[in-house]
Amino acid sequence: MRTDVTVGIDVGGTNTVFGLVDEQGKCLAESSIATNAQDPPESLVDRLAAGIQEMHAPLAEACRIVGIGIGAPNANYYHGTVEYPPNLGWKGVTPLVALFKKHFDVPVAITNDANAAALGEVRFGAAKGMRDVIVITLGTGLGSGVIANGELVYGVNGFAGEIGHTTVDPNGRECGCGRRGCLETYASATGMCRTVFELLCDSREESELRDVTFRQLKGRMVTEAARRGDKIALAAFEYTGRILGMKLADSIAHTTPEAIILFGGLANAGDLIFEPTKRWMEQHVLGIFKGAVKLLPSGMPEGNTAVLGSAALIWTELLKTR
């Protein structure tokens, strides 16, 4: 008997990763192609279909594809669409699920990458067996997926879980979304870099980061400087953790998850970000929630994370109806 596998696909601004994943979260094969974000989406789907067939061919006797899960920016789970994505050249609303259905006669589901990551953590990662979880992806921006009562919360229009766009300060930093003071302008790799320059202005402390331009500075450089004991870099982590911890206390007041999982580039800084975030989160949280919510790193294998998340999305759909 052939093993059932799903295809997990993660559409990024630069590359699109895809792979075959079994029910236990084992990634049997993985590959990637350029997204070519300025081309029409049909071109990406055609190339992905070919890539998937090619990947599956040598495994066709061992496994059969039973579903496809897609993580993509501005994805609408309810409609199977990608709507006005800021980092892709696609105009308006793209019916991405329908485009895949032309190539594959299996269930296809789509959501954004943070929701896919949340489903991945619950099915294959650090939140296995948990019914209430929030996953926060700390990359260029801050994405989030909210799981309550064992189910992902999509909300009335399919876009719920945008904790990165809760407001820290209505007169604060300009955000890519057009508003000011959103959490992701503080708690993300780029947000932390903005904080570094604020601290460089405010303080007279010596720092290796005084020799870096705004455009050059990356989150990883702040992490490395902090590990070398640079006081400005350390203060930037403290500030980032303070804002993030304070806002996570608000999230806890909403759905009180068993765990909040920090995921992505900035989360890889480890204790540098976890320690202040946890400390400020506990300080700000309501008494009845103190000590109730774990702050955890991702439990998914690093290389396959995005593919596993998207695969978890479709496994979740398939196992609902079994």
Nearest residue (CB) to its own copies, 23 versus 83: 83
Nearest residue (CB) to its own copies, 47 versus 294: 294
Q: Of all residues in the chain, what percent are helix, strand and coil, respectively (each to 5)?
A: 40, 25, 35
Give me the torsion for CA of 138, 142, 148, 150, rounded to 10°: -50
Sign of the CA dihedral with 236 first, then 117, 260, and 125 last: negative
Q: Taking a C-beta distance cutoff of 8 angstroms, is the pair 100, 108 a contact?
A: yes
- Shortest reach from residue 288's CB to its own copies, in Å: 5
Nearest residue (CB) to its own copies, 60 versus 286: 286
- Shortest reach from residue 130's CB to its own copies, in Å: 8
Measured CA to CA, the distance from residue 164 to residue 310 in angstroms comes to 21
- Shortest reach from residue 182's CB to its own copies, in Å: 8
Complete edge-to-edge strand list for the sheet that includes strand 75-76: 75-76, 81-83, 93-94
- Shortest reach from residue 189's CB to its own copies, in Å: 20
Nearest residue (CB) to its own copies, 50 versus 319: 319
- Shortest reach from residue 250's CB to its own copies, in Å: 4
Nearest residue (CB) to its own copies, 274 versus 289: 289
- Shortest reach from residue 304's CB to its own copies, in Å: 28
Element (H, E) at 138: strand 133-138
Binding residues vs its own copies (CB under 8 A): 74, 83, 132, 146, 148-149, 151, 153-157, 159-163, 165-167, 170, 177-179, 246, 249-251, 253-258, 284, 286-289, 292-293
Nearest residue (CB) to its own copies, 59 versus 153: 153
Nearest partner of 277 among 193, 209, 188, 194, judged by Cα: 188
- Shortest reach from residue 309's CB to its own copies, in Å: 20
**Distance from CA of residue 250 to its chain's centroid?**
20
Residue for token pair 């007169």: 171
Residue partners of 165: CB distance under 8 A and separation at least 6: 175, 177, 179, 182, 183, 184
Residue for token pair 């990763």: 17
Nearest residue (CB) to its own copies, 233 versus 295: 295
